[in-house]
Chain A
Amino acid sequence: MSEAKSRSSAFIEARDRATDYLVRRHYLRWTEALPWLVAVACFFLFPNRMTFGSQVLIMIMFALSLDLILGYAGIVTLGHAAFFGIGAYTVALASLRLGWSEPISGLAAAGVIAACVGVVVGWFILRYRGLTLLMLTIAFAAMLQESGNLRSDLTGGYDGLPGLMFDPLLGTFQYDLYGHTNFWYALAALAVVFYFVRRLVYSPFGQTLTGIRENVRRMHAIGSPVHLRLVTVYAISAGIAGVAGALFTQTNAYVTLTVFDFDSSAKVMVMLILGGTGRLYGPFLGAAVYMVLEDYFSKMSPTFWQFGIGILLVLTVLFARRGLLGLAEDIGGMRWGGRAADAAPRRLVWKPEHWKALGASAFDGGVLGFLVGFAVNMGHAELMTAYVTGLPAQVAVFTLGGAAIGAGINAFYLLLTSRSAVEGQAS
């Protein structure tokens, strides 16, 4: 009897904690002011880099739109640049062909048009998943780009539409050379969009999306109109991407068909993944870090930067699947939660399979070194169009070096993951 009672009170307590969480989770926390303070601080710290600053804000908005469908609803797309491009061309063409140069109403129009296209496209393609969906999104963006090129008399093709003019903001603020007006304009637009997205993801509608992402069959079973929900969020996301695209055109006064590039879709996804998906501030961190790194490294060497993106992606997938924000949380958790374990001495229990792992790493390192050695030699030979001597020696050095590095990394990894004495006995 008493056991049953205590169980039920524990149940009530647990339920209260659960409901508490649901009631409180959308409350504003003080940390949420940080990104905005940083943005304002950047304005005063780097007043000469504000053209770049507004580009960062635009990419944050674009990544935020992707987060809504990818992070919350689980729709994998490699063609989101389609809607960014639609928004970008809406304001460009409206200004150039219709003489509609008022910026804020232009943003709204771009958002509405992109959202309408999103409804139609989403209605057709969101019935599919996996590779089919991926291919359909790629095909849609590519078709828009090719049709744009077909009507290059209208769109300017890959040469673009330069020298677009827009009316002063709110009829009073002129655009300046340093992009100060543009920065505040982009920041204000981002704040409005962010407020909307935040409301959305904490609403019951946002909760349905997470449900669909986690278990679509169960959502069907409890009677949720899955397709309708997905199309709705797809359209909203398309609209936001359209607004970001329109801002892009307005702040650059220039647009080309490259906005529809596959690279552009892939880039925004990388930003989002880097920051962390399915969280509101992932796009902020991801886009800012990516843009700053790109600005720095691609000036140094575009090739080097491309290699950097590749490594960033591989490392993120292998070691930080929840992005930089997730990584920060993990490190924070380690510091506060892992103290007792850290205090205990580490002990590595050597097992036969460790030899095997070490050997495999050395082998892979060797293979990689062998290939790099060959590539270096071939590359030299190719550039000088002559056979470079010393091939065997060079390849041998690279192979042995690679093997040593591979084994070294493996040994380091073993030490790193070796359990502390206390934990080791427990497991």
Chain B
Amino acid sequence: MSNNVFMKQSRKYIPLTIMIIFVLLFCGCKQNKVEDKQPENTFAVHGSVREMVIHPETPDFPEHEGKALFMSYCSVCHSLKYISGQPGFPRKTWDAEVAKMVTKYKAQIDSATCQKIVDYLAAVKGKA
């Protein structure tokens, strides 16, 4: 009996519930669209102050062992576009590049991790 009353009452809310679901779905889609689109870079002058906003993008990289290490360590100081924009190189070139980041630019990467990053680069950006 009480069940029945509940059913009857809740039936009243069906159109509203459907509407809410549609609104949520629509907002969700819209949200996705906004996320897909790169936000605009801006520039403004306020009196003596100049300000710009640049939104960097993260390029896609192939799945391969070591990808997560490569992406996290190599993006500390610079855009990963530094790597996506390179042609393929032999392993010894990647070895020298990663070593340079540690010895010259003082990146904090231990040698075991360096090797895994070099492995990744040699695999996805190796000499064709």
Question: Is the A/B pair a real complex?
Answer: no
Seen from chain B, the residues whose Cβ lies within 8 Å of a Cβ on chain A are: none
